[in-house]
Amino acid sequence: MRSILSWLGLDRTDSGPEQTPLRELVTALDRLEPERAQYLARFAYLLGRVAHADRHVSEDETRTMERLVRQEGGLDADQAMLVVSLAKTSNQLFGGTADFIVAREFGGEATYEQKLALVRCLFALSAADSGISMAEESEIHRIANELRIDPADLTALRVAHQAHLPGLTSRPGGETR
């Protein structure tokens, strides 16, 4: 069976730097259909992008990412843990370089409903540690814009998570997120 890397053209020596962040994720998903593996790799990468927006990925965020990847991809717990681990690492290593490219590729292949589901997951992920930071909300908005999410839909998703939004929640010690 051919590797997903070859199906995606990632096994070529002339492949560009924009493909590097997805290489390990795609390898971890090698047993899935190529289109599904690519979708999940991008989905996980975008989750990692938001989780890392505030420069810290909490244990709650990691567990939430694993749960979302399991649900979205039908993966077992070990596979989801590996995918999330690779997504977090890829985001830390290649973040700014690949962020737009991965979002553009996800947006080009996903249906509008899948894009909305991703943004819903991004809000849920950010709220996992009791509050959405300003950096996380900003990153969600960036991704939503890159995916061309309708502003009314984004507002509806935002309102659904308003209890966790910056300035509306407080942390121990009185600090506002």
Mean pLDDT across 109-121: 93
pLDDT tens digits along 136-167? 999 999 999 999 999 999 999 999 888 887 76
* Residue at 171 is within a domain: no
* Residue at 174 is within a domain: no
Q: Enter the tokens of residue 100.
A: 């737009």
* Residue at 173 is within a domain: no
Three-state SS at 58: coil
* Residue at 120 is within a domain: yes
* Residue at 26 is within a domain: yes
* Residue at 97 is within a domain: yes
pLDDT at residue 167 in the model: 63
Longest CA–CA span in the chain (Å) reads: 57
Confidence of residue 28 (pLDDT cuts 50, 70, 90): low
pLDDT tens digits along 43-78? 888 988 888 888 888 888 889 889 988 888 788 787
CATH number at residue 21: 1.10.3680.10
Domain of 70 in residue numbering reads as: 4-164
Asked if residues 143 and 119 have their Cβ atoms less than 8 Å apart, the reply is yes
Number of folded domains that form the chain: 1
Rg from Cα positions in the chain? 16
